Amino acid sequence: MQQQRRNHRRLGLVPEVQDGDVTVEQALAMRNYQAKRAEQYADRVERARASGHWAAMRHWMHEYRHATKQCRLLGERIRRERTTRAQTAVVGDPQIADPSGVARLAPQVAADMPPAGEAA
């Protein structure tokens, strides 16, 4: 079950990256959400820096770093899941979606090739 925690300093609910029940699609959505948050935090850092509010700048820099860390962790998880899926797909037999739609070709013997079983 995906757990979320509320942090009043951050914007809204923060999904947990370490949750084991997250699919690749959910992780992609979570990463997209964290990337948007990181963009918002970076904007707040720059506005605080421009206005000389150093404490606010440090606070938003901390939030920015947290959001980018979540993005990196989610990216690693997505890549790991995709490579695991790709490796397990290679192990199995190839699957044909519609066998009735496959055209069978008759074997053809090339003119310059000796029949099977004859030595050169």
Give the start-to-end residue ranges of the domains of the chain. 24-90
pLDDT digits 0-9 by tens, 81-90: 888 776 666 5
The yes-or-no verdict on residue 1 having pLDDT over 50 is no
- The residues with which 14 forms a beta bridge, in sequence order, are 5
pLDDT digits 0-9 by tens, 18-72: 556 778 888 999 999 999 999 999 999 999 999 999 999 999 999 999 999 999 9
- Catalogue the E-assigned strands of 1-120: 4-6, 13-15
117 Rama class: left (phi>0) / alpha (psi -120 to 50) / beta: left
For residue 30, count CB atoms less than 10 angstroms from its CB and return exposed for 0-12, middle for 13-18, buried for 19 or more. Answer: buried
| pLDDT score for 93 | 57
Q: Would you state the structure tokens that stand for residue 14, as one six-digit string?
A: 């923060």
| pLDDT score for 24 | 87
Give the C-alpha separation, 45 to 52, whole Å.
10
- Contact between 67 and 38 under an 8 Å Cβ cutoff? The reply is yes
- Contact between 41 and 60 under an 8 Å Cβ cutoff? The reply is yes
Give the C-alpha separation, 20 to 18, whole Å.
6
